[in-house]
Amino acid sequence: MFKLSENQIRSFNEDGFLIVENLIDDDTVELLRARYRRLFKGDFETGILPDEVNWQEATGDPSLTRQICNGWKADRAIARVVLRADLGQAVAELGGWPGTRIMIDNVLWKPAQTRPLAYHQDNAYLKWFEPSELLSCWIALDDTTADAGTIEFVRGSHRWRHSLPEGEFHGPKEYRKYMELAAAREGVEPEIVYVEVPKGGGSFHHGWTWHGSGDNTSASRSRRALVLHAMRSDTHYVPEHLGQGTGSIYSRYKRLGDNVIDENYFPILWTKDGYRTPGIENYLSAD
């Protein structure tokens, strides 16, 4: 069980991120690494395809970070981490939310000599639901270092003016470009913090915190990570914005007669009043 301290919550509110250790144990790390190998070969344990498959072994560009979104639907080992109630509670406490549901997960694998992921603000892509807030938990499956392309945050940037999404996300030549332009508009010098933790550790970050990751310049080390991107439990669809940002993908789950976000596809992990989507435990325990 992961539990936040009051000091950690204060630090998150000040910095826009929080670096932690021991989110998952070594056995879970090893299991997830094995499942990553299967997922990126197109072997999906549940028989259900993830919502986004941006890299596969036979066709993927070897210079890019491998990415799958909503691996939890394809593999229960992924689901047993990203659907944890204690992580949902931690996210809600950091965000000041009544509860937490998963929006998506990211299954990320950055092998040696692969290119960066551009700096961005997650909330900039979310007009299709409201409240349009995201808060994320990033979990390292390898010991992380700056030279191996770990995630980077800009301290305090969640308080900057909001920016629209710009530029190429996967493998840009100037991966910090749009963050640096935003910092110039703020009149500040960005303070970049690298998340350097042992495997099983990670971080939480605010949806308006600028973040990205550089080239993996190491000779042989991979940087694998599993990310829970969470939204508030009380979100709903905004029909006029369903074609914008990630809404162009996740609007496929909108029901015909209302704007309710369906728990079958966006399960609720934790709420203050003790509610959790009932089907989660049956799903996690299925063979």
Q: What is the pLDDT of residue 131?
A: 96
- Written as one letter, the residue type at 164 is L
- Cα gap 136→126, rounded to integer Å: 14
pLDDT band at 286 (very low <50, low <70, confident <90, very high): confident
In a domain, 150, yes or no: yes
What's the number of domains the chain is made of?
Answer: 1
Tokens of residue 59, six digits: 């066709």
pLDDT at 64: 94
Question: Using an 8 Å Cβ cutoff, are 65 and 170 in contact?
Answer: yes
Question: What are the pLDDT digits (tens) for 95-113?
Answer: 999 999 999 999 999 999 9
> At 5, is the pLDDT very low, low, confident or very high (cuts 50, 70, 90)?
very high
pLDDT of 166:
87
Confidence of residue 245 (pLDDT cuts 50, 70, 90): confident
Please report whether residue 244 resides in a domain.
yes
pTM equals 0.96
Residues 246, 137: Cα–Cα separation, whole Å: 18
Whole-number percent of the chain with pLDDT over 70: 100
Mean pLDDT (whole number) for 134-139: 98
Predicted pLDDT at 165: 87
Residue 1 lies in a domain: no
The predicted pLDDT at position 266 comes to 98
Task: Report the candidate in 208, 236, 237 with the shortest Cα–Cα distance to residue 123.
Answer: 208
Confidence of residue 30 (pLDDT cuts 50, 70, 90): very high
Residue 287 pLDDT > 80, yes or no? no
Give the integer Cα–Cα distance in Å for 190 and 193.
10
Total Cβ atoms within 10 A of residue 275: 13
- Enclosing domain of residue 128: 6-277
* CATH number of residue 187's parent domain: 2.60.120.620
Q: What is the pLDDT of residues 171-204, one digit of tens each?
A: 999 999 999 999 999 999 999 999 999 999 999 9
What residues have CB less than 8 Å from 12, skipping those under 6 apart?
A: 18, 94, 204, 206
Average pLDDT of the residues in 217-227:
96
Structural domain includes residue 242: yes
Question: What pLDDT is recorded for position 24?
Answer: 98
224-228 mean pLDDT:
98
Residue 49 is assigned to a structural domain of this protein: yes
**234 assigned to some structural domain:** yes
* Residue 286: inside a domain: no
CA 227 – CA 34 distance, rounded (Å): 17
Contacts of 135 (CB under 8 A, 6+ apart): 91, 94, 95, 97, 100, 204, 205, 206, 207, 230, 231
287 is a domain residue: no
Q: What is the pLDDT of residues 44-53, one digit of tens each?
A: 999 999 999 9
Summary mean pLDDT of the chain? 96
Number of residues that this document lists for the chain: 287
